[in-house]
Amino acid sequence: MDLNLMAIFHFSPLYITLIMFTICKGISGATFTIINKCDYTVWPGILSNAGSSRLDSTGLQLQPGASRSFQSPPNWSGRFWARTGCNFDPTTGQGTCTTGDCGSNQVECNGAGANPPATLAEFTIGGSDNQDFYDVSLVDGYNLPMMVEPSGGSGSCLSTGCATDLNQRCPAELRVGDGAACKSACEAFGSPEYCCNGAFGTPDTCKPSVYSEMFKAACPRSYSYAYDDASSTFTCTGADYTITICPSTTR
């Protein structure tokens, strides 16, 4: 055989291993690991988007320092968030949370999403060209610092999120209660220019507000309003993801 052809068809064991790893990652989806670095208990919620299978849990309790991992199926999309101030009756299992409550009255959210304001980690696994898309969104407001860090993938694969405690700098008109969370301007005022709907329903007509710019200045890689795509959506291929709540210990 011609030496050039031999070079074309010769693959090292390492190269073959990398190919098989990429194929298997595409088949198996991604592993998500949620870590609670707050110095208090949180109750993460998980919502699979329409058309995606639910993960092993839709809600759980995480003590300080605890973690839990979930394996997603291929082509999964959904979101993670953290509930705070939850109180569930040990006998009936019924209860509610101060922030991020999903309205299920249980630890499991059972297909319900977070009541705003809540910091959201959003994922689409194996989307366009088998790339994963991910972001941390403050569009529905903020309740806790959260970071997303990919590992083992290829591509740009940057970490993203909001490590700043926005509750400490939340304007009075957006503050929830004694400062447990910070509303978005849309949630607080409901007007189209803040919600990017009606006459303001396009990227050309809906621009950053003084409130979304405050969020963006504190957390430059997070979604601050509905059309904040360019600096807020990240991609990676074949990665697993660590979602850290309170990446710097926050009371």
Averaged pLDDT, 136-157: 97
Give the separation between CA 183 and CA 20, rounded to whole angstroms.
45
Q: Decide: pTM greater than 0.75.
A: yes
- Is residue 11 pLDDT above 50, yes or no? no
Whether the predicted pLDDT of 201 surpasses 70: yes
For the stretch 18-64, pLDDT in tens is 344 444 444 569 999 999 999 999 999 999 999 999 999 999 999 99
> Residue range 163-181: average pLDDT?
96
Phi, psi of 80 (to 5 degrees): -125, 145
Count of CB atoms situated within 10 Å of the CB of 48: 17
Say if residue 14's pLDDT is above 90.
no
Q: What percent of the chain has pLDDT over 90?
A: 84
User: Exposed, middle or buried, 98 (CB in 10 Å: 0-12/13-18/19+)?
Assistant: middle
| Model confidence pLDDT, tens digit, residues 82-118 | 999 999 999 999 999 999 999 999 999 999 999 999 9
Q: Annotate 41-83 with three-state secondary structure.
A: CEEEEEEECCCCCCCCCCECCECCCCEEEEECCCCCEEEEEEE
Domain ranges (residues) in the chain? 15-245
Q: Which of 45-49, 111-115, 166-170, 229-233 has the lowest mean pLDDT?
A: 229-233
User: What architecture does CATH give domain 15-245?
Assistant: Sandwich (2.60)
Average pLDDT over residues 135-151: 98
Residue 9 pLDDT: 43
CB of 98 closer than 8 Å to CB of 72 = no
Structure tokens, 42 = 């949180």
